[in-house]
Amino acid sequence: MMSPFKKIALIGKYKNTEIAAPLLSLAEYLVRRNFDVVLDELSASQISSDKYQAVTLEEIGQEADLAVVIGGDGTMLNIARRLVSYDVPLIGVNQGRLGFLTDLSIDTMLETFGAILEGQYVTERRMLLFAEVVRNENSSFNALAFNDVVIYRGISSGMIEFEIRINDEYVYSLRSDGLIVATPTGSTAYALSSGGPILHPSLDLIALVPVCPHILSNRPIVVGPEARVEILMHGIADVRVNCDSHSSFDLEQADKIVVQRFPRTVRLLHSTSHSYYRMLREKLGWSEFP
């Protein structure tokens, strides 16, 4: 069977010396099967071989038929944000701890890839969020988030005070340690530890999860994909907004944070045996009795 892929890009976790061996092993396997293999330039700088062409992430987006990310979920989050506009399908190989996004095992990746390369895979589309800080009616900051947009306080001991509007309608005012605006992907990250719901990745939904709210009736709420979430800052001291624990910005009084769905989606490929519910059982220990 002819493979749907020709040029395959390999991307490893940055500054991880343990990534060289599995990266080279996968590259050699793909070359033996007559695929055109390229490495992203940061990964190429960490291995001793010069057999493979080193390219930028932008070149991967423009030229590759498939990108394989070896590392943890943090690596996948970064690569997904960088490549989302190119619609390159991504496969994640887990070398981290939990591996919600990088679901293939590094120990069995070669046999799993054999089936995927022959077209035996399932495709999953996942949404991202676009966050923007509006200050004095001007855009002061913007970033993409695959997991979540988080408003949080720094070393200040006081609570944050803000109000939330959805599609220009006032929803509630809140005093808390912060607020998490999460995608279904991010619902199993910080939002989960803060009491938020788990959202199946096939759903295009946005979860708003207060962090330690002063009033216990301020519960998480879930809104649709067309929601435009506005957070207006009131009582504020040493407060920041953070996107995927990657891009952050210091907030000021009367800043407005606007969060909405990004128009493009990330395309993830899984083996045909992939099960989201099995993954949850394994990662969250649901199969064990307390």
Q: Which residues are catalytically annotated? A: 73
CA–CA dist 240, 215 (Å, integer):
22
Are 174 and 153 a contacting pair, CB within 8 Å?
no
CA–CA dist 170, 227 (Å, integer):
13
Polymer length of the chain:
290
Angle between helices 109-117 and 20-32 (to 10 degrees): 40
Are 74 and 41 a contacting pair, CB within 8 Å?
no
Edge-to-edge order in the sheet of strand 221-223: 221-223, 206-211, 178-182, 148-153, 239-243, 247-250
57 phi/psi in degrees, rounded to 5 = -65, -35
Count of CB atoms within 10 A of residue 257's CB? 23
